[in-house]
Structure 1
């Protein structure tokens, strides 16, 4: 298992800065997911760790060894990392067994040892009956497992995955995601996983690193990222539907939403006492907009625009106080588009953001 340490890592492509002073430590055996919108730099960061791209600033260590920086550059083949690409990159003329053994053969592993390792990996990934087939004879999920096996059979320090499930249909993606989670729990290999799919990020990760425009915006457990986003970007990127944002204003010694004084938790009140602004953005998750408001809640009218029934729950999109909003409620509802529903805000998990910078108030 290998620790990965990034210190001030930067990368430029001509006039475009892809990575801006990335500081990140990935513990041995950790599964870290890099997530963010397209073009945020997550795949570039993965490729610099693999050694497929150089860095222009900072340093990078794998297993304590300096592999990139002003005084060193270790090529990809010598970094003891393995990578699974989005398109799997299997050799079409080779059997599954030969694809699995390819990296071992290139490293001079004896033939009997290769066969033993390939058999072990095929058993682990459920590929034993497919060893004689060519990639064209496999389903998308089977090809993905072969690509994973070819990387893992080398027993690398670090295992890198660049959107490996994006070519699979929804059912197969869900199934394969679960297989990857179980595989990581069994092997405890250090894994860095790139995706734009927040469901993958939330369900797979030990920790999530959220990126935007080459910057690392927040690193934390899925629970931390969801409940305590550091800024508006993270709040609205992680979670479906995204966090609702409402403007609250100072009114004497109180803070008001739609003219009603808010009974905020003590921690939030303490933050607001330090705030000099007359206006703050209040963030609440969709499940915190309650269709059956209690008397103590701040209340309003939610105008229904779109309903998404999901069986065990229903997501409803509309507006609240003139602001676009969404709510999540258990089971089904009998509402229709245009209905006006009385709702209340559960402020127990509310997050406060500075309206100018978008950063969370501390």
Structure 2
């Protein structure tokens, strides 16, 4: 690995040099999403000393399940082959019915989850809220008074959980000077492009001075909101995020393997997209939600918080977000497929997805390395495939 911070980093078994500037982009992401800790600093999320929780098996062949998408008849097997799949697992009634590893991934391989990390962070926030350590109706500045000098002044914790804060944050992934581009540098993923840009994630937050609307008015996807939540949890507990997640979630789940976060130059774990874990442990996280917060013999997340997470405000879910989720909503760092139902998702760019339907007792996890950040056609087909599988399993 090169020590030159502006040069290439990492090396595949093929001998190809991975550009530091584009390590998380295609075609490199087919390899790097399974090798993130070889490319950037990380902090472990300990699984705890206990045994791994048991996942029963009831194997079925799902590959031949047929569905129609955009007028074409397709199969689940073909979908997995054509959609840059790395890991795929389906659970029904608490048991694994299908588990597939592709693109050299194995059952012990941690995979970058991108914004699925937001849902992990949000879930831990729900645990702390249930314990009375954080009040979702309190102002963010009650916990982080430094933010009184930012656009977060007047925002409630719940506004941040729902990404309705009204703070200006440019999430354009392909823009070279967007706020999310500055996050890429501040979090330690990319080399500095401008000496005046923030050097840490905390500096990014402190630099957000503009509002685009009143707090609570409408949903707008802002990755930085999750980091505001994480700093709030760290301030309240006196612990770093990886240790909070280990104590409150990963160890109680009975995870099979340690997880890990990427960290910035100040050692802060990237709550909005730096979480890495194995396929089956993501499945355990999905089952925790499908089972109303109860898993591995205990109520890990308050039932009331899980129930509230499934109830979003569709009227605040506007614009292009409706292209994939025409009846959707966003609540507590999760995407709700249909605001009139209870199915919801953790989603991340480049095709990461944990789909949870408590009414069907169904969980599906798909880890991917798409060639593009966002692709509405691919996202809609993921949902079409999910619905086809659910229909067969529920018959």
Query: TM-score scaled to structure 1, two decimals?
Result: 0.24
Larger fraction in helix:
2
TM-score normalised by length of structure 2: 0.22
